[in-house]
Amino acid sequence: MTRKLVMFDIDGTLLDHDKKLPASAKEAVQSLKEAGHEVVIATGRAPYFIQEIREELGIDSYICFNGQYVVKDNEVIYRNPIEKDFLIDLANIAMPHEHPLVFMGEELMKSTIDFHSEIAESLATLQANIGPIEMNANYYNDTEIYQALLYCKVHEEALYREKFPNLHFIRWHEYAVDVLPLGGSKANGIAVFIEKTDFTKEQVYAFGDGLNDIEMLQYVGHGVAMGNAPDAVKKAARYVTKDVSEDGLAHGLEMVGLL
């Protein structure tokens, strides 16, 4: 079989609803690697949120921050930070509305508030073994920020979408919205990755389940939505597999002929 490039989201795709890696998923990834395919993680998480699963699966290439930070064979090949002025303006709107922000850099993340229960609750769902987040409302002065987390309710999102046409907002939690540079997506990160390899789009397979996976599933030659994905994600995919808790990843790989 011709060598393929296989992209996997983490939450709800590689990891099940309890944030566990199903044995079938681990075996499937190993089989892909043994067959000579290149396996890459494509996630909205920061690099420091994926170290454990990368080590368990032996994956050295990954796309983080929803496409804004791309690593191939442990070497950073692409960075797309949010413009500092946009972050300043965002903070100037969010803070008076008492909407906390978390600024995510390459190595650390900092919050505009010392503690907030919604930040703690949302990040706890990732089970990424992170400690308390330090407060630094001006963290963008110290480092490049690739993604921000905005804490507001669904009905409050319109305020930010209207005022910040140069930013991209994707809700990932009841309390939290990812904030990215305009045009930023996993698809953009994949395009960069492809440029550095000899793969074509038709040779790329991507698996995902979240709203932040829509562009990725539409972009690649073979987009596979998990059975637990919302309808909007399934409509964007070429294929739909079973729920992650029903060995959906392995089933999807069999469906597209990679296993």
| Alpha-carbon Rg for the chain in angstroms | 18
The count of residues in the chain is: 259
Comparing C-alpha atoms, which of 47, 82, 79, 104 is closest to residue 189? 79
Comparing C-alpha atoms, which of 217, 247, 220, 253 is closest to residue 235? 217
Partners of 76 in the β-ladder: 71
Alpha-carbon torsion (126, 50, 119, 181), positive or negative = negative
Among the options 9, 16, 209, 247, which is catalytic?
A: 9
Comparing C-alpha atoms, which of 211, 207, 193, 259 is closest to residue 238? 207
Are 72 and 61 in contact, with CB atoms under 8 Å apart? yes
What are the residues whose beta carbons fall under 8 Å from the beta carbon of 56, sequence distance 6 or more?
Answer: 21, 26
40/37 Cα distance (integer angstroms): 10
Residue type, 90: L
Comparing C-alpha atoms, which of 191, 193, 190, 194 is closest to residue 207? 190
Comparing C-alpha atoms, which of 40, 44, 18 is closest to residue 29? 40
9 is catalytic: yes
4/103 Cα distance (integer angstroms): 35
Active site amino acids: 9
